[in-house]
Amino acid sequence: MATEAAQAVCEYVVKQIVDNPDAVHVEVSERDSGIRLDVTVGDGDMGRVIGKRGRVATAIRTVVRAAGHEDDQTIDVEFVD
């Protein structure tokens, strides 16, 4: 699958932010509009990933979309509670 780079980047960045990197899981699903990455983190880490006013989440989405752009893929990142 062409999204391996975007998935790896997403997983790496999120693991660097959270307190429990072993609990990070990124699931890939294909949609009509492109690829969706569902990110699950451990208890108490969702706030760290979202950040104040969603700034950290926005930054993660920007970096992951840039990684997917090389493969001409539209990437959407969702943080699942």
10-residue averages of pLDDT along the chain (81 residues): 82 96 95 90 94 96 89 88 82
Question: Residue 12 is which amino acid?
Answer: Y
Q: Which residues contact 25 (CB under 8 A, 6 or more apart)?
A: 39, 40
4-80 maps to CATH 3.30.300.20: yes
As given in the structure block, the two tokens for residue 58 are 């926005």
| The model's pTM | 0.89
Q: What is the residue whose two structure tokens read 């990070």? A: 24
Are 4 and 71 spatial neighbours (Cβ–Cβ below 8 Å)?
A: no
